[in-house]
């Protein structure tokens, strides 16, 4: 049996002067999704990518574009990212007073809906909304920067969320895990219940990024019984 986890390389750690090259790496390695980290220098202390860049990516790839919005007032950016060609749009629960409005807006664009929480935000804060989403993005570092260390308590948290989903017949909701994921800890995250793994610096900081992407899949399949 093959493991059915998905890998979503984060282009935050790629060479921004060569995003076409980053897409080629993802293609050659066989990555499932392209993870795009959107930061507004308000919700997090960093500033990155907006809709025009997503539009340019969309023009040159058929891959699933996964937009992770780390921005205040996320409702203002939903339609621009949808029009630019995002396939999934994730927002942070901490960034809005009206999560239902953001969810309904994303849904109205026909895109997949993701909800995310920081490491310090209790799961109970998102619980009332999860029936309406397609994925839960569990941050395993403080959002804002690539290259940080995986917060080890995250695995326990993922397992609890997975159990909550199965206890409530919500197995259709996928768990995405983002931050500090490396070849050496990916298997633990998958075993804990992670369905979609984001990896930035491990892929794009490598000498052989295509080889690293392939190794994520090979390791997962070797460890599945
Ligand atoms: C952090 C971002 C992550 C980041 C992950 O706020 O959401 O997607 O790119 O990078 P690594 O894999 O290097 O921790
Ligand atoms: Zn991210």
Q: What is the CATH number of the domain that holds 61?
A: 3.20.20.70
**From 178, 186, 189, 204, mutation site for ligand 1 pocket: most ligand atoms within 8 A of C-beta:** 178
Structure token digits, residue 59: 């023009």
pLDDT digits (tens, 9 = 90+) for 71-123: 999 999 999 999 999 999 999 999 999 999 999 999 999 999 999 999 999 99
Dump strand ranges (E) for the chain.
6-9, 33-39, 64-70, 88-92, 112-117, 135-139, 174-178, 196-199
Q: Is residue 1 part of a domain?
A: no
Ligand 1 site, residue 179, Cβ cutoff 6 A: yes
**Residue 48 maps to a domain:** yes
- Over range 174-188, report the average pLDDT: 98
Q: Which residue has the higher pLDDT, 151 or 4?
A: 151
For residue 35 and ligand 1, the question of a CB distance below 6 A is answered with yes
Residue appearing with tokens 């939903």: 78
pLDDT above 70 for 1? no
The verdict on residue 41 lying in a domain is yes
Q: Which residue has the tokens 């986890």?
A: 5
Provide the mean pLDDT of the chain.
97
On whether residue 120 sits in a domain, the answer given is: yes
Show the tokens assigned to 225: 């019984």
User: pLDDT at position 101, please?
Assistant: 98
pLDDT at 21: 98
Domain that holds residue 102: 6-222
Count structural domains, the chain: 1
* Region 158-174 average pLDDT: 98
pLDDT of residue 2: 62
């Amino acid at each position: 049996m093959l493991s059915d986890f998905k890998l979503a390389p984060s282009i935050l750690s790629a060479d921004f002067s060569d995003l076409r090259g980053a897409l080629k790496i993802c293609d050659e390695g066989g990555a499932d999704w392209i993870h795009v980290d959107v930061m507004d220098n308000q919700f997090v202390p960093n500033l990155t990518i907006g809709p025009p860049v997503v539009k340019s990516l969309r023009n040159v790839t058929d891959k699933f574009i996964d937009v992770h919005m780390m921005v205040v007032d996320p409702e203002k950016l939903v339609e621009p990212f949808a029009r630019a060609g995002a396939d999934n749009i994730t927002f942070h629960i901490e960034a809005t007073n009206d999560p239902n409005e953001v969810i309904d807006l994303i849904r109205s664009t026909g895109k997949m809906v993701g909800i995310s929480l920081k490491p310090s935000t209790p799961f109970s804060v998102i619980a009332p909304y999860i029936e309406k989403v397609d994925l839960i993005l569990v941050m395993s570092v403080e959002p804002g920067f690539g290259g940080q260390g995986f917060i080890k308590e995250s695995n326990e948290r993922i397992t609890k969320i997975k159990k909550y989903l199965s206890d409530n017949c919500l197995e259709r909701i996928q768990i995405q895990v983002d931050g500090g994921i490396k070849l050496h800890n990916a298997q633990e995250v998958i075993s804990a219940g992670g369905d979609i793994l984001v990896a930035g610096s491990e892929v794009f900081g490598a000498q052989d990024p295509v080889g690293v992407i392939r190794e994520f899949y090979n390791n997962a399949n070797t460890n599945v019984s």
